[in-house]
Structure 1
Amino acid sequence: MTGPLRIANASGFYGDRADAVREMLHGGPVDVLTGDYLAELTMLLLGRDRMKDPSRGYARTFLRQMEENLATAVDKGVRIVTNAGGLNPSGLADALRELAGRLGLPVRVAHVEGDDLLPRAAALGLPGGALAANAYLGGEGIAACLRAGADVVVTGRVTDAALVTGPAAAHFGWAADDRDRLAGAVVAGHVLECGTQATGGNYAFFERHDVRRPGFPLAELHADGSSVITKHPGTGGAVTVGTVTAQLLYETDSPRYAGPDVTARLDTVRLSQDGPDRVRIDGVRGEAPPPTLKVGLNRLGGWRNEVVFVLTGLGVEAKAALVREQTEAALAARRPAEVRWTLARTDHPDAAAEEEASALLRLVVRDEDPEAVGRAVTGAAVELGLASYPGFHLTAPPGKAAPYGVFEAAFVDAAAVEHTAVLPDGRRLRIGPAPAGRPLADPPEPPLPEPLPPGPVRRAPLGLVAGARSGDKGGSANVGVWTETEDAWRWLAHTLTPALLRELLPETARLPVTRHLLPNLRAVNFRIDGLLGDGVASQARFDPQAKALGEWLRSRRLDIPEALL
C-alpha cells in the first residue's frame, strides 16, 4: 500500500464534543476514525464506576455516539479504533455487537485486552490498594485485529499514539523493526490525540484564528512514516506549524519519547507548512523501545474538603490572618492530616465593582478519616459567620468530604504483560513485545545556538515573543515554550534556563526542574517534578493539571531584546 492513509480523530478526552464523530464522518474522506477517551483521571473515575457495577468501566458516551453514527461508518467503509473500552474493553465490544445486531448492521467487532494488571499486581511486584493498574500497550494488537478484518477495534489502556500506529502498521505492512516509520506514526498520533488542540484549541496565539469551534484534526499518513496534519474543509480553527508545535510539546518530556512500539526522537521532527491548514511532518527517527512498559496505578488517597472565604476591601491580609487563626483554633481538637491555606489577591484598589474589590482565601484539608474533613471543617467555617472579619462570606456553602485519588507510575517487564488481540471470530492472539533496546536515557544535549549580539532591552511579558503549552504527567508538570523566529530562538535558548524558570514561577523554586532543547522546533521543554502532588485526582493546587502554567509563564515580565519586540 503506497497511498496515504487518512486517520482522523473525533475525541480527545471522555466528555469531548459529542457530535465530532458525525462531523468527521460527513466532513470529508476518512479511512480510520479514532477516539481517545482515557486519561489518568478517567481511569480513576472508571475504576469507581466498575466498583459500583462490574459490567461498566467503559466510556458509555462512545456507545451513544455509535448508535447515531455506526451506520454511516459502515456505509462509508470507515474503520473505527478507540480506547473507549477503558477498564472493560470486552464489555464494550459485546455492547457494540448487540447494538450492531439491533441496527441490522454487518459489523465485525474486535478488542484488545491484557493491559489490566490488577489481578496480578502482587505477583508483578506492583503496590497494593489500587482501584486500577493498567499497562500502556502498543499498537500491534490493534493492527492484528484490523488485519483479521475488524471494522471496529476497542481497546483498554493503550498509549494514545497506538490508535494511529496500529492502523498504520496494518495498512502499510510495517514490521516491528520499521522504527523510523513507526516513530513517524507515533508523532502523528501524538498530534491527533488531543483533538482540537492541534487545530487552534487552547493555542497561545488564539487571537490570530477563528477558534470559536475548531474542527477536529486528521493525518494523511504515508508509507515512509511521514504525514500531513490537516482538517476537513470549511471547519473552524487552523492547522499551522505553530498549532502543531504546541501539541507536540504537550505532556512530553525527554526528546526520547518512549512507547511500547518504538522510541520516537522528538529532536528529529521537522515541520513545514504544506499549504493552507496543512502541516507536513517528516524526518522522524525511531529507536528500539525500552524493555519495560509503563503502568498507571490509580487508588483512593483519602478524603478532601475545601472552603473559600471572600475578603473584600481594606485590610485583606489582616482579615485573612484573623479567620485563619479562628479556623485553626476550631480544628485543634482533631486537626486534619493536611491543612493548606492559599490567599489569591484578586482584589483591586478603589474598585468599581465589589467582586473586583475582593480577594479569595482558600482552605484545603485532607485526611484518611472523612469525619476529620467533613462536619468538623464545615462547622468551623459556618460558625464564624457572625463572629469574624467584616464582610464575612463564602463563595459557596461548605460541602461534605469528598474522596480524592492518587496516580502513580510503575514499570514492569514488557514480556510479563499478556497483550492479547481478540479477533472478530473470537480467536485470541497473544501479542509479543517489540524487540527492546536498552533502558531509556536522555540523549546528549544539543549545542546552544549562537547568542544574539548585545543590544537594548525592554521589560516585557515573555508571551510577546514565545508561545507555551503545559500539562500534567502524574505529579509532574511540563511546560513547552517555543518561538516563531530564529533570532527569538537564539535568545530563548540562552535565557530561559531552569534557574530563571524558578524565578519567574516561584511555586517551582524548591522543585527539581529539567530542561531539554528541541532546536528543530525552536523550543525548550521543562519538566517540573512534584508540582502536582500525587496527580490530577489529588487536586494538589489551584490548577491541578497545570493546564494554565504555560500562560502564567508567558505573562511574566523579563528583559527582552528590543529587536525581538
Structure 2
Amino acid sequence: MTPPPPPLRIGNASGFYGDRFDAVREMLTGGPLDVLTGDYLAELTMLILGRDRAKDPARGYATTFLRQLEDTLGLAMERGVRLVTNAGGLNPAALADAIRALAERLGIDCRVAHVEGDDLLGARDWGPGVVTANAYLGGAGITACLRGGADVVVTGRVTDAALVTGPAAAHFGWAADDWDALAGAVVAGHILECGTQATGGNYSFFTEHDLRRPGFPLAEIHPDGSSVITKHPHTGGAVTVGTVTAQLLYETAGARYPGPDVTARLDSARLIPDGPDRVRVHGVRGEAPPRTLKTGLTRLGGHRNEVVFVLTGLDIEAKAALVRDQMEGAMSKRRPAEVRWTLSRTDHSDAAVQEEASALLRLVVRDRDAAAVGRAISGAAVELALASYPGFHVTAPPGKGSPYGVFEAVDTPADTVPHTAVLPDGSRLTIPPAPTTPAAEGPADEPSLTPSLRPSLPPPLTPSLPPPLSPGPTRRAPLGAIAGARSGDKGGSANIGVWARSEDAWRWLAHTLTVDRLRELLPETAPLKITRHPLPRLRALNFVVEGLLGEGVAAQARFDPQAKAVGEWLRSRHLDIPEVLL
C-alpha cells in the first residue's frame, strides 16, 4: 500500500506591517518548513503605502520585508524554503527587483517572481481623493509563479488566505474547481494570516497559557485540503481548539466566506485536538466563488484633530460642561464639519492615585479644510489653560491636525482584472478568473448547486440550534466567565465572534445572546444594523455590526477604531447565567 504523501508545511512570519522583526529567522530555524508566508497588508496599510508612492513612485512596498531578508534569504535558500508574501503592496515589481539585487549582492542563487494586476487605480475614474484602488486577487497567480520555479513570490493585494491556497494548489496539483481542497486551504490560510493570534495572542483566556512571547503558527496541509494547525516546538503560546476557533471567527461574517478562489463554508469546518499544540481542521466544504472581486478603495477624507482634556476629582460633569461650552464658543465662527465629544468616566471616588481620580473628555473634529481643525482648535484649547475648570490640563499638547483616510469596498467583475504572474525568467502569464456558477451568488439561505454538489454537502444555511438548557437557578456574572470572543474590523463594520467552551454553555448561549440582547449589552450598537450568524459546529455566534466604525479604521471614528476590544467589552458585561455553567 502506497503511504500518503507528507503534508505541506506552511508557516507564517508576519500578521501585519510592523509585526515581530525576528519572526522570519525564528520560523526558518525553529523547525522544518516548506513554505514561509508573510502578510503585511491591511486597509490602513494600503493608505500608508499609497502616500509613500505619491512621494516616490519607486516606493509603495513594505520595506521591512527586504530588511528581514538581509540575513535570512540565504538561510531560506539553504533549507529549501520558498517565501511567499504580499509585501509588494502597491509596487510588487519594485520589491521583486530589490530582492534580486539583494540576492546578487549576497551571492545567493534565488529565483524571484511576482504577481501583479490588482492595482486598478488608473483603470477608471474612482472619484475625488482616491489614493489606492486594488482588487483582492486569489492564489492562482502565486501557484503559477511557484510552478514556474520561483523561490520567492511577491504579490500586491491578494486575499490573506491566498498566501496559503497558492502554494498548496501548486504543491498538490489542485485544479481551479477543486472546491473542497481549496476551501480547506482558505480556512487554514485565514487561521495563519494574523500570525500569533492563532497561538494565543489576543486570546480571551490568556491567563491559562504562557503568552509572553507566543510562537508563530504553521499549518500542515494535506492533499484533501484538511490541515493541522501547530507551531514549532519549544516556542511560546499555545495552539488549542480555543485559540484556533478565536482566529477562525476573526473578521468573518456568515457561514459562507466568499473569496476569489472559492467560497469556503465555515459552517462545515470541524476542529478537533490532535495532540499537544496541534488542532486538526477538517470537513471544510467549498463552493464556486463569486464572479466579482472585492476592490478596496482608500481616499483622503479630510483632516482631523483631537484634544483630550483631563478632569480630576470632584464635579466631573460640571467641569466637562464648562470646557465644552468654552470650546463650542470658540468654534462658533468656523465650526468644523464634524464635532464629537466623548466623556470617559475613568475616575474613582476617594482615589489614592491622582490618575485614578481623573476622567477624560475627548474632543474630535473633522473637516475637509485643514485650517478648520488646525490652529482654530488647538489655539482655542491652549488659550483655556488659565481660564477654565480647576486642574485644567490635557494629555498632550494640541497639534495642527492631520489627514485621515476613508476605506470603501466595491465589486469589480473578475474578468476585467488583469491578474498576471511574472515568472522568474520574465515571461508573463495571464491568470484567468476562477470558474464560477450562478449558485454561488444566490441568497445565503439557498443550497449550493455547484458541480461539486454531493449528498454529504452540508445543508442550506438555516442551521439548527441545540435545545435550550433546562431552567435552573442563575447568578449574575460576566459573559466572559463561560464564553470567549474576538472582534475586528471590515471597512466601517465590525464583527464580534463569540464561542462557548462547553456543549451546555453553547445551548445557553445560542438561545440567550440574540441581536436584541447584544444591543442591550452594547448600547453603542443599538441604532445600527446587526446580523447574527450561528455556527453550531464551532459552538459560536458571529455578529456583524454595520457602521460601528464609520468610514473605516483610517478615519478613526471611535475610541477603538478597529473594534479590537469590542469582544472583550461584551465579555465584561453581566447577565443572569445558569449556576450549573459557573
Aligned to 1:69: 72
Matched, 1:546 2:563: yes
CA contact (8 A) 2:419 2:430 kept: yes
Aligned match for 2:510, one of 469, 482, 493: 493
Which amino acid in structure 2 is aligned with residue 513 of structure 1?
I
Aligned match for 2:45, one of 14, 37, 42: 42
* CA displacement at 1:316 relative to structure 2: 0.3
Aligned to 1:442: 444
* CA displacement at 1:26 relative to structure 2: 0.3
CA distance in structure 2 between the partners assigned to 1:72 and 1:144 by the alignment: 24
* CA displacement at 1:437 relative to structure 2: 2.4
1:238-387 equivalent positions in 2, closer than 5 A: 238-387=238-387
CA contact (8 A) 1:164 1:185 kept: yes
CA distance in structure 2 between the partners assigned to 1:520 and 1:453 by the alignment: 21
CA distance in structure 1 between the partners assigned to 2:338 and 2:538 by the alignment: 42
SS in 1 for 2:467: coil
SS in 2 for 1:54: coil
Aligned match for 2:542, one of 512, 525, 538: 525
CA distance in structure 1 between the partners assigned to 2:210 and 2:23 by the alignment: 18
Change (3 A) 1:377 1:97: same
SS in 1 for 2:71: helix
Aligned to 2:123: 120
CA distance in structure 2 between the partners assigned to 1:437 and 1:369 by the alignment: 47
CA contact (8 A) 2:129 2:301 kept: no
1:187-225 alpha-carbon deviations (Å, 9 max, x no partner): 000000000000000000000000000000000000011
SS in 2 for 1:233: coil
1:405-554 equivalent positions in 2, closer than 5 A: 405-438=405-438, 439=441, 441-443=443-445, 444-554=461-571
SS in 2 for 1:469: strand
CA contact (8 A) 1:471 1:546 kept: yes
1:329-374 alpha-carbon deviations (Å, 9 max, x no partner): 0110000000000000000000001100000000000001111000
* CA displacement at 1:442 relative to structure 2: 2.2
* CA displacement at 1:3 relative to structure 2: 1.8
CA distance in structure 2 between the partners assigned to 1:445 and 1:384 by the alignment: 59
SS in 2 for 1:120: coil
CA distance in structure 1 between the partners assigned to 2:254 and 2:507 by the alignment: 20
CA distance in structure 2 between the partners assigned to 1:437 and 1:389 by the alignment: 65
CA distance in structure 2 between the partners assigned to 1:189 and 1:93 by the alignment: 23
CA distance in structure 2 between the partners assigned to 1:212 and 1:399 by the alignment: 35
* CA displacement at 1:128 relative to structure 2: 4.5
CA distance in structure 2 between the partners assigned to 1:402 and 1:382 by the alignment: 18
Q: Which runs of 5+ in 1 are unaligned?
A: none
CA distance in structure 2 between the partners assigned to 1:408 and 1:316 by the alignment: 39
CA contact (8 A) 2:415 2:433 kept: yes
CA distance in structure 2 between the partners assigned to 1:479 and 1:121 by the alignment: 35
CA distance in structure 2 between the partners assigned to 1:68 and 1:13 by the alignment: 20
Aligned to 1:141: 141
SS in 2 for 1:204: coil
SS in 2 for 1:131: strand
CA distance in structure 2 between the partners assigned to 1:145 and 1:322 by the alignment: 64
Change (3 A) 1:138 1:440: farther
* CA displacement at 1:127 relative to structure 2: 4.0
CA distance in structure 1 between the partners assigned to 2:313 and 2:96 by the alignment: 58
Q: State the identity as a percent.
A: 76
CA contact (8 A) 1:445 1:516 kept: no
Which amino acid in structure 1 is aligned with residue 530 of structure 2?
V
Matched, 1:92 2:92: no
Aligned to 2:227: 227
Which amino acid in structure 1 is aligned with residue 534 of structure 2?
L
Aligned to 1:210: 210
* CA displacement at 1:484 relative to structure 2: 1.1
Aligned to 2:192: 192
Aligned match for 2:108, one of 89, 97, 105: 105
Stretches (4+) displaced over 6 A:
none
CA contact (8 A) 2:14 2:37 kept: yes
1:258-284 alpha-carbon deviations (Å, 9 max, x no partner): 000000000000000000000000000
CA contact (8 A) 2:306 2:365 kept: yes
Which amino acid in structure 2 is aligned with residue 111 of structure 1?
H
CA distance in structure 2 between the partners assigned to 1:173 and 1:500 by the alignment: 48
Aligned to 2:175: 175
Which amino acid in structure 2 is aligned with residue 523 of structure 1?
A
CA contact (8 A) 1:290 1:440 kept: no
Change (3 A) 1:14 1:68: same
Matched, 1:7 2:10: yes
Under a length normalisation based on structure 2, what TM-score does the superposition of the two structures give? 0.96
CA distance in structure 2 between the partners assigned to 1:281 and 1:348 by the alignment: 47
1:174-199 alpha-carbon deviations (Å, 9 max, x no partner): 00110000000000000000000000
Which amino acid in structure 1 is aligned with residue 26 of structure 2?
E
SS in 2 for 1:468: strand
* CA displacement at 1:129 relative to structure 2: 3.0
Under a length normalisation based on structure 1, what TM-score does the superposition of the two structures give? 0.99
* CA displacement at 1:445 relative to structure 2: 2.5
* CA displacement at 1:447 relative to structure 2: 1.7
Q: Aligned-pair RMSD on alpha carbons?
A: 0.8
CA distance in structure 1 between the partners assigned to 2:231 and 2:392 by the alignment: 51
SS in 1 for 2:83: strand
**How many corresponding residue pairs?**
562
CA distance in structure 1 between the partners assigned to 2:26 and 2:147 by the alignment: 27
CA contact (8 A) 2:37 2:163 kept: yes
Aligned to 2:449: none
CA contact (8 A) 1:2 1:172 kept: no
CA distance in structure 1 between the partners assigned to 2:312 and 2:567 by the alignment: 29
Aligned match for 1:22, one of 21, 25, 29: 25
Which amino acid in structure 2 is aligned with residue 138 of structure 1?
G
CA distance in structure 1 between the partners assigned to 2:127 and 2:239 by the alignment: 43
* CA displacement at 1:150 relative to structure 2: 0.2
Matched, 1:557 2:551: no
CA distance in structure 2 between the partners assigned to 1:553 and 1:525 by the alignment: 13
SS in 1 for 2:59: coil
CA distance in structure 2 between the partners assigned to 1:353 and 1:209 by the alignment: 31
CA contact (8 A) 1:121 1:133 kept: no
CA distance in structure 2 between the partners assigned to 1:74 and 1:415 by the alignment: 36
CA distance in structure 2 between the partners assigned to 1:430 and 1:207 by the alignment: 50
CA distance in structure 1 between the partners assigned to 2:243 and 2:411 by the alignment: 32
* CA displacement at 1:2 relative to structure 2: 2.6
CA distance in structure 2 between the partners assigned to 1:484 and 1:346 by the alignment: 32
Aligned to 1:80: 83
CA distance in structure 2 between the partners assigned to 1:552 and 1:40 by the alignment: 24
CA contact (8 A) 1:220 1:228 kept: yes
CA distance in structure 1 between the partners assigned to 2:256 and 2:101 by the alignment: 42
SS in 2 for 1:51: helix
* CA displacement at 1:137 relative to structure 2: 0.2
Which amino acid in structure 1 is aligned with residue 359 of structure 2?
A
1:529-555 alpha-carbon deviations (Å, 9 max, x no partner): 000000000000000000000000000
* CA displacement at 1:440 relative to structure 2: 5.3
CA distance in structure 1 between the partners assigned to 2:138 and 2:376 by the alignment: 48
